[in-house]
Structure 1
Amino acid sequence: MKNEMLSVAEAAARIEAGDVMVVAGDEALLAQLPRGKWIGGTTVYFVTEEGGAVVRDKLFCTRFERATGAAPRWLEVGELPKISEGYAENGFTMIMIPAFSVAHSDFAVEGQGYPGLFDQPLAGWITGVHLDELGKRAPKVFDGATGVAHDEGAVLLHVELPDGVAADLDILNIFAQGEAEALTFTFPKAGFEAEVATVEGQEVNLARYIGEHEIDTRLPLVANYAGTLVNVSIQEVDAQAGKVKLYAPVVEGVEYRLAQALGSYAQAFAEGAGGKGANEYSCNCILNYLYGELEGQRTGGFTGPVTFGEIAYILLNQTLVRMELHEGDAAA
């Protein structure tokens, strides 16, 4: 696969030549692209070869050069459980969902139970807008088959690969659960909002507890799912209302620990990535971009859109999702 920052004319030429692509950029640019084997999503934040940047005049395109076929597809909210019905016999699926949509919430809470969801690599991201435009413009997704933009539902690109080639999907999470003495949180119900939590065996109002203990809300809560660390990031703490809004849902009964504090975000990513990243698909979280002050800084060799949530089968926060194609059997 190949990652490129292209003008609208250059991206359009690729599409008209039959290239299979996922495209990220400003809505006005995406709206100019012709129909073809692509899907797109809105964002103006990127990690480029020169570092993090706001880019409004170009599109970030990932071309899947080894694809033998591809089918763009838009699903309404009620059709989300049918994601796997479009899976190719050998391939992977890209997905984009608009931030703050019903689909965003439904996929996050219910996606793990969708039939066949884990049967092949499913990678993608939650689309966004410039932070100054929150509440003024809706994040969008684009179905390349029709050229139509949507602010609800999900767009999918089902990609077929030749025999002997497989997609390897993984996440780079620079956070670790706190040590044994770190606070442990559990929640009585799942969701993007939490009022009550059990902390070290004591039931508390989470918002007031965070304020009283001066917890650093830039650090996510981290759960261990069978050896994979998954973050839940804190969006807003309203002590007066006694509520905490989250960027991903907590799961009932799962044990979360507050993440260990970091030194340098950029350094942590560079160390975690090593020399990897070239010729891989990747997307990075807007919270990493902001808290890590990534503007002008690189994160190893990875380039790609900065997003309002990452998808590697399930919704993730404060991670980098990466995928590469290789010879051999598929790996998750």
Structure 2
Amino acid sequence: MKNEMLTVAEAAKRIEAGDVMAIAGDESLLAQLPRGAWIGGTTVYFVTEEGGAVVRDKLFCTTFPKASGATPRHLWVDELPRIAEGYRPGGVTMIMIPAFSVAHSQFAVDGQTWPGLFDQPLAGWITGVHLDDIGKKAPKVFDGATGKGHDEGAVLLHVALPEGVTIDLDILNIFAQGDDAKLTFTFTEGGFAAKTARVNGTEVDLASYISENGIDTRLPLVANYAGALVNVSIQSVDVAAGEVKFYAPVVAGVEYRLANALGSYAQAFAQGAGEAGSGQYSCNCILNYLYGELEGQRTGRFTGPVTFGEIAYILLNQTLVRMEITDAA
């Protein structure tokens, strides 16, 4: 795959030439692109070759040179369970969903139950806006088949690939489970917010528990799914209202632990990224960007959009999602 920061004119030329692309950038730029084999999503935060940056005048374009074809689709909320109907045999599907939308919530809570969702690599991200524009501008997704933007639903790019290629979809998670409190949630509390939790078997007011124990809310809750560590990041703690909000849903019955404290967030992320990333698709969480102080810093050789959530089959937080497509050995 090829990752580049392009002007609107440069990106449009590639689209008109038939390139298959996943594109990120400011809404005003995405709205100027012609129809073609692409999908797009809004963000102004990126990790570039020079480091993390806010970029408003260019588009970050990931091109799939090995693609033998691609079909862009926009699905409304009630159509989301049909995501896998567009899968191309042996291919990969890219997905983008607007932050704060109904689709965002539906995918996070119910996506794992949708038929065929895990039958091929599904990678993508939750689109966003500049932090100063939250509540003022809606995150958008763009469907290359029509060139139109949407603030609801999801856009998909079903990419066909030649036989023999290998698709490696993975995440970089710098967090490990701590050894202290074990947290579980009930079915009535499961979701993007919780008032209570069971901590080591005892029910507690979760907001008060976090406040009274001085828990660093930059550190996520971490669950172990058959060896894969999945984060749920804390959005806010309102002691007066007795509520904790999350950036992804907690799942009833799953055991979570608070992440181990990091000596230096930025250093831990830099060490985790190493020098990998060249020629790979990637997206990185806005929380990593903020807490890791990534502005002006590189993350190995990974470049890509900074997002309001990452998708590698399921919704993720505080991770870097990466994907590599290579020829068969």
If the TM-score is normalised by the length of the shorter chain, which range does it land in? over 0.9
- 1:327 and 1:228 mapped to 2: Cα distance? 26
Q: How does 1:1-332 map to 2 (within 5 A)?
A: 1-179=1-179, 182-189=180-187, 190-328=190-328
- 1:150 and 1:22 mapped to 2: Cα distance? 16
Q: Secondary structure at the match of 2:14?
A: helix
* 1:271 CA drift (Å): 2.0
Stretches of 4+ aligned residues off by more than 6 angstroms: none
Q: Which amino acid aligns with 2:295?
A: E
- 2:101 and 2:273 mapped to 1: Cα distance? 32
Please say if residues 266 and 298 of structure 1, whose CA atoms lie closer than 8 Å, have aligned partners that are also in contact: no
In structure 1, runs of 5+ residues without a counterpart are none
* 1:217 CA drift (Å): 0.4
Please say if residues 269 and 300 of structure 1, whose CA atoms lie closer than 8 Å, have aligned partners that are also in contact: no
Q: Secondary structure at the match of 1:240?
A: coil
Q: Which amino acid aligns with 2:34?
A: P
- 1:169 and 1:52 mapped to 2: Cα distance? 23
Q: TM-score, normalised by structure 2?
A: 0.98
- 2:298 and 2:257 mapped to 1: Cα distance? 28
Q: Which moved more, 1:183-192 or 1:228-237?
A: 183-192
* 1:90 CA drift (Å): 1.1
Q: Which amino acid aligns with 1:185?
A: L
- 1:134 and 1:217 mapped to 2: Cα distance? 20
Q: Secondary structure at the match of 1:183?
A: strand
Q: Secondary structure at the match of 1:209?
A: helix
Q: Secondary structure at the match of 1:178?
A: strand
Identity of aligned residues (%): 78
Q: Which amino acid aligns with 2:106?
A: D
- 2:159 and 2:194 mapped to 1: Cα distance? 38
Please say if residues 39 and 157 of structure 2, whose CA atoms lie closer than 8 Å, have aligned partners that are also in contact: yes
* 1:268 CA drift (Å): 1.9
In structure 2, runs of 5+ residues without a counterpart are none
Please say if residues 90 and 166 of structure 1, whose CA atoms lie closer than 8 Å, have aligned partners that are also in contact: no
RMSD, aligned CA: 0.9
Q: Which amino acid aligns with 2:261?
A: A
Q: Secondary structure at the match of 2:216?
A: coil
Please say if residues 93 and 121 of structure 2, whose CA atoms lie closer than 8 Å, have aligned partners that are also in contact: yes
Q: Secondary structure at the match of 2:124?
A: strand
Please say if residues 88 and 160 of structure 1, whose CA atoms lie closer than 8 Å, have aligned partners that are also in contact: yes
* 1:128 CA drift (Å): 0.1
Please say if residues 141 and 154 of structure 1, whose CA atoms lie closer than 8 Å, have aligned partners that are also in contact: yes
Q: Secondary structure at the match of 2:135?
A: coil
* 1:201 CA drift (Å): 1.0
- 2:225 and 2:17 mapped to 1: Cα distance? 42
Q: Which amino acid aligns with 1:186?
A: T
